Amino acid sequence: MPYVRAFVPLKHPACARARLLEALTAKQRHSMYFTLVRRIITALRDVPLVRDTVIVTSSAEVEMFAGHLGVRVMHQVRDTGINSACEAAIA
């Protein structure tokens, strides 16, 4: 049976949720970011065809978080956006 490798491109946490800058504190945005990441990884683990999940990021903090979740990481040298993260993942 074929399987799927899921690549999850993630910005640096400090850059994420910028649209909520006026509505949430930095601590709230940070907490929300990692809560959403955990939910995404959990959802992917529940999909039978997804056998491998890889987070693509330039953030050391996200890399450590991924390690705690048991998820592999593809390290980007710098955060150049989601499109470049996706391109790196499929290269």
Q: What does 6-18 look like in DSSP terms, one character per residue?
A: EEEE---TTTTTG
Entry pTM: 0.83
pLDDT digits (tens, 9 = 90+) for 36-81: 999 999 999 999 999 999 999 989 999 999 999 999 999 887 777 7
The pLDDT value recorded for residue 53 is: 95
Q: Which residue has the higher pLDDT, 2 or 7?
A: 7
Q: Is 24 helix (H, G, I), strand (E, B) or coil?
A: coil
The pLDDT value recorded for residue 55 is: 94
Band (pLDDT 50/70/90 cuts) for residue 17 is: low
Asked whether 33 and 16 are in contact (CB, 8 A), the reply is yes
Q: Lowest mean pLDDT of 18-22, 23-27, 31-35, 37-41, name the range.
A: 18-22
